[in-house]
Structure 1
Amino acid sequence: MATVRDSTFDVLRARGLTTIFGNPGSTEVPFLAGLPEDLRFVLALHEGSAVGMATGWAIGRGRPAFVLLHTTAGLGNAVGALATARVNRAPLVALVGQQDRRHLSFEPFLAGRLAGLAGEYPVWVDQPVAAHDVPGSIARAAHEAETHRGPAIVIVPMDDWAAAALDDREDAAPARVVRAASVAAPAIDELVSFLADARSPAIVVGAGADDPETWAALAGVAERLVAPVYQESFGARAGFPQDHRLYGGVLPADRPRLREKLAPHDALIVVGAPVFRQSPFAPGRLTEPGTRIAVVGDNPDEVHRSPAELAVLGPPEPICRELAEHLPQREGEPPEQFRPPPAPAPPHAGQPLQAGHVLSALAERLAPETVLVEEAPVDRPELHERLLAHKPLGFLSAAMGGLGFALAGATGVRMALPDRPVVAVVGDGSAMYGIQALWSASHYRVGVLFVILSNGGYAIMDRLVERHDAKAPWPSFSVDIAAIGRAQGCRSRSIATYDELVAALDEVMPELATSEEPLLLDVAIAPTERFRP
């Protein structure tokens, strides 16, 4: 007799969900005990790390990932990571264990009120009404996650796995969903008309444009318009090759400087991003009066909240490809290409390293195909200036803004893309939010380079408090991240001088693409004194 568990394993195989990220609990034991050998369980030491690795895996593969969570405690611990997955548009199937169905009405120990625990961040939540509905629910969850680009949750009582499956029944989800990627001619005509009279157009791109086909299509549009291409502020991914001659840099994240930056342009086309992501609030308009804005994207939430004259809801790649073919070639001088600032001179003896020393040293050595995962808030503006994305998925960050993604996310990306070098640049404060991921990276021999910018505190928070002309109530702190890494089996070094930094990078970089062992460099730096996102 086939069980619900057997049928669910068949669903996982059919959907390509054979890698299971998780931190197990007692409600998941009936599902996991005696796991078939063709299904791989990847252990994380915290649910945030499990979801973070699954998120990196899903982003790297461009397909749903599967993560297992333990009832209330597990799902509760994972909510922040699930929010990051949603805003990063990572398709996840999250299976959440529940107490035995036969006594749920008595609310036994470990019973959870789970359906609303993750709030509005899941794209879909299901509690199958009967055990035999579980396989179909998980099959549907894979489609929901991929279509809506976020986590889909299925809550399963622990006794359901041993129940008999219904063999003489249709599957409760289609075997395949083919998503149309064409665009209607009237939409292209609208965009051509919008740009027809523009004297000085510009393009703004975001995470929704980060794939090879959209990069190529956008380059065609930019070259037709002879227009600069700006990266949105606080974007989770790069939407355009940042070594292209028309790349114009990252937009400021406050309204006054954004207005100033965009003032020369009378027409903006925003692709794969909202109009516009900001932090913190400042009064005034986003752009100067009279600036016309069109937005193109396949994320309804971003498109619907964008203050634009024209919005085209659809896949950016075919829209931009068709637009490039229909736009007339503009004449004019190309804008000045964005170029990184010169590297700072090495510090004198006795002087501390600055973030710029580390970022410049990385920039000189990173291969173009490197995936750079960022979670160093106070140093992110300088990182954007010095470390450019040369290939799609060249930059990855947590769009939600919550900390704790980078260590696990980088591990998941490298597991999904073993042929690409992966470097995570993480603040010491940020690292402590997801430090358990180092164990998984070490145990599963995931060759990520973790570069920790250890400034001895929450420098970003210190800079923000200074804007209020007040003193922060929290102390600075010193945590030996390298020691914590070694305690989890991760090869780790403490770096205090410029010579130590370049020697370590020169040693590791040539073999980074093929490395099967993670390395953590805990680099002591002086706190960054200026923050202008």
Structure 2
Amino acid sequence: MSDRFRPATAAEHLLWLLHRHGVEHLFLNPGTDSAPLQEAAAALAKAGIPIPRVITCTFESVALAAAHGYWHVTGRPQCVFVHVDVGTQNLGAMMHNALRDHAGVVVLAGRTPYGEDPDSPGGRSHVIHWQQDVRDQAGIVGGYAKWSLEITRADVLPRAVGRAVQVARGGLPGPAYLMVSRDVLMDPPAEDLGRTDGYAVPDPPAADAETVRRIADLLARAERPLLVTAKTGRRPGGLAAVTRLADLAGVRVVDTPESGCLNIPTTHPRAVRGTAAARRHVAEADLVLVADCATPWIPKYVRPRPDATIVHIAPDPLWEDMPLWTFPADVSVAAHGATVLRQVADALGEIDPGTKWAGHPCGEPSDGDPPASAGDALTARAVAAALNTVLRVDDIVVEEAVTNAPVLAEVLHRELPGTLDGAGAPGLGWGLGGAVGVKLAAPDRRVVAVVGDGSFMFGVPTAALCLAAEADAPILAVVLNNGGYLASRLPVFELFPDGVSASRREAVGTRFRTPPDFAAVARACHAHGETVRDRAGLVPALRRALEAVESGTSAVVDVHVADD
């Protein structure tokens, strides 16, 4: 096909290159700068030339969240097109999430045209072409993009696209930011279409034999070894590596809130469940292995004991992009946790895991949930228990529950790799768009997003549900609706325990006095919508919603829960 393909414009060449570099989807939020790409997509489709699937997105942040979610499942970067500087700004917190979660994505942004003459193809033709000519468009994402480049000549396209996908995928993955003006896109293409091979990425680094032996020896001698991890389960084989080490060496495993993935089956006997239990184990451990985790504990609440040995394992165990990062480390290993933990497990000799942490329970005691009955107040714990009732083992749960995330981590059952997902970063509004991206990457799986009411609104639900419909990627969104920003209320009580706010159990700006009807929002977007206010109606509502999803329609179940 490449021998016969001769693009008519640089825009056609660009779409062809993206496809050849493995980009399967182009999430498009169009503007005046995207016209050459829109025409190129139509022309190439008519000619039978394969290009990425173009999916219309009505808001940029949702598009980037979807590309991020797709990366989680496949490890393949997808492309998001945004309109010059203003579209770049609308990416907002999703750029932060892509940076912190090391998500490989390619953002393609237009640039205001350069030409002004009447005979300049693609030149300036509207007042906004002067208004949107800013001094430093790339600077908008300068602190968050891993790499950026403006394409100013058509013959640069092959190298620019190849480099963008390579950088997004390789090393510490992250967002690559490309800019191109529409007059460049309308230029005649380069004579040489360019190579689309030769852009290999390196294999993940491994620990040297001496370091592996040292960690294995530390594990063999430790009486209370603890593994604190966040993103090891994101790598292929990561969950298996964590689980194997827990079984072989009696290591307890703390899965931190920043994880955004499943690192060990939630029902594994050595999985530490509950915040209080996690802090207790950190305080008591004589060996703490920290794998792929930037914040293994909060020093305000707990610190390892003074004689504990601390081992940090991560591709960048110094976390150089965090200016003030001062967690102690006795051993520091620059490699992926999945790789090193597998190496250590291979190197371990005979260890009786039963001698480790003898008599110390992993989690918090629980009396379970009371039986469901009409009129009982709903809690996040009850919602998690209900999800355990209706979910299949291979369903994928996308979590953005904020203050209720610890409850889900403690109660929700997930066993298989990849069945728990999240942004792994604090930029709210990821969950809905991320869930659509996950569904696109795993079309045969049911995808359930569990979000707070605040994060549901941050997620631009009209745009997210529209994207799900446009992409034929239906999802279920379960909203834990506690009527406001509990995450912003609790710090007021914490900092001012004797203050007026604490005495009233209220904080200014954290209650939604006139919130939208989320179920009605869903129905307005041609999705199934229900509101649940009592325990008895919860499981039936979830089942109806999942039936809607299986029939091809997204669904929203708005569950009103107690906020404390």
* SS of alignment partner, residue 154 of structure 1: strand
Q: Counterparts in 2 of 1:49-128, with a 5 A limit? A: 49-102=62-115, 108-112=130-134, 113-128=136-151
Check whether the contact 2:385–2:411 (CA below 8 A) recurs between aligned residues: yes
Tell me the residue number matched to 1:451: 478
Read off the aligned partner of 1:493 and give its amino acid letter. E
Check whether the contact 1:43–1:440 (CA below 8 A) recurs between aligned residues: yes
Distance in 2 between the 1:484 and 1:269 partners?
Answer: 46
Alpha-carbon offset, residue 273 of structure 1 = 1.4
In terms of mean alpha carbon deviation, does 416-425 or 465-474 score higher?
A: 465-474
Tell me the residue number matched to 2:508: 473
> Aligned pair 1:189/2:213, yes or no?
yes
Alpha-carbon offset, residue 358 of structure 1 = 1.6
Tell me the residue number matched to 1:374: 399
Distance in 2 between the 1:386 and 1:466 partners?
Answer: 26
Check whether the contact 2:226–2:281 (CA below 8 A) recurs between aligned residues: no
* SS of alignment partner, residue 90 of structure 1: coil
Alpha-carbon offset, residue 347 of structure 1 = 6.0
Read off the aligned partner of 1:99 and give its amino acid letter. T
Read off the aligned partner of 2:105 and give its amino acid letter. L
Distance in 2 between the 1:432 and 1:169 partners?
Answer: 44
In terms of mean alpha carbon deviation, does 48-57 or 298-307 score higher?
A: 298-307
Tell me the residue number matched to 2:120: none
Tell me the residue number matched to 1:437: 464
Alpha-carbon offset, residue 362 of structure 1 = 0.8
- Alpha-carbon distance change, 364 to 160 in structure 1, aligned in 2, over 3 angstroms: same
Query: What runs of 5+ residues in structure 2 fail to find an aligned partner?
Result: 1-5, 117-122, 502-506
Distance in 2 between the 1:93 and 1:76 partners?
Answer: 15
Q: Counterparts in 2 of 1:263-342, with a 5 A limit? A: 263-276=283-296, 278=298, 282=300, 286-300=303-317, 302=319, 305=325, 306-331=327-352, 332-333=354-355, 336=361, 338=363, 341-342=366-367
Query: 1:237 aligned to 257, 261, 285, which one?
Result: 261
Query: 1:409 aligned to 413, 434, 437, which one?
Result: 434
> Aligned pair 1:500/2:518, yes or no?
no
Alpha-carbon offset, residue 129 of structure 1 = 4.1
Q: Counterparts in 2 of 1:182-261, with a 5 A limit? A: 182-249=206-273, 251=275, 260-261=280-281
> Aligned pair 1:518/2:554, yes or no?
yes
Alpha-carbon offset, residue 400 of structure 1 = 2.4
Alpha-carbon offset, residue 338 of structure 1 = 4.3
Tell me the residue number matched to 1:362: 387
Alpha-carbon offset, residue 57 of structure 1 = 1.2
**TM-score, normalization by structure 2:** 0.85
Distance in 2 between the 1:172 and 1:394 partners?
Answer: 34
Check whether the contact 1:206–1:237 (CA below 8 A) recurs between aligned residues: yes
Distance in 1 between the 2:149 and 2:548 partners?
Answer: 45
CA shift digits 1:220-271 (9 cap, x unpaired): 222221121111233222222222222122556xxxx865332321111122
Alpha-carbon offset, residue 14 of structure 1 = 1.2
- Alpha-carbon distance change, 351 to 317 in structure 1, aligned in 2, over 3 angstroms: closer
Check whether the contact 2:114–2:181 (CA below 8 A) recurs between aligned residues: yes
- Alpha-carbon distance change, 327 to 169 in structure 1, aligned in 2, over 3 angstroms: same
Alpha-carbon offset, residue 296 of structure 1 = 1.6
Alpha-carbon offset, residue 464 of structure 1 = 2.5
Read off the aligned partner of 2:537 and give its amino acid letter. E
Check whether the contact 1:230–1:250 (CA below 8 A) recurs between aligned residues: no
* SS of alignment partner, residue 67 of structure 1: strand
Aligned sequence identity (%): 26
Alpha-carbon offset, residue 451 of structure 1 = 0.6
Check whether the contact 2:311–2:332 (CA below 8 A) recurs between aligned residues: yes
CA shift digits 1:90-126 (9 cap, x unpaired): 1001101011133599971322431110131111011
Check whether the contact 1:275–1:295 (CA below 8 A) recurs between aligned residues: no
Check whether the contact 2:234–2:418 (CA below 8 A) recurs between aligned residues: yes
> Aligned pair 1:487/2:500, yes or no?
no
Alpha-carbon offset, residue 70 of structure 1 = 0.8
Distance in 2 between the 1:333 and 1:300 partners?
Answer: 30
Distance in 2 between the 1:261 and 1:228 partners?
Answer: 8
CA shift digits 1:44-79 (9 cap, x unpaired): 211111111111111121211111111111100103
Distance in 2 between the 1:76 and 1:250 partners?
Answer: 38
Distance in 2 between the 1:400 and 1:56 partners?
Answer: 13
* SS of alignment partner, residue 345 of structure 1: coil
Distance in 1 between the 2:485 and 2:207 partners?
Answer: 47
In terms of mean alpha carbon deviation, does 97-106 or 458-467 score higher?
A: 97-106
Query: 2:189 aligned to 165, 182, 192, which one?
Result: 165
* SS of alignment partner, residue 238 of structure 2: helix
Distance in 2 between the 1:433 and 1:368 partners?
Answer: 29
* Two-structure CA RMSD over aligned residues (Å): 2.7
Aligned residues: 520
* SS of alignment partner, residue 390 of structure 1: coil
In terms of mean alpha carbon deviation, does 187-196 or 336-345 score higher?
A: 336-345
- Alpha-carbon distance change, 79 to 131 in structure 1, aligned in 2, over 3 angstroms: farther
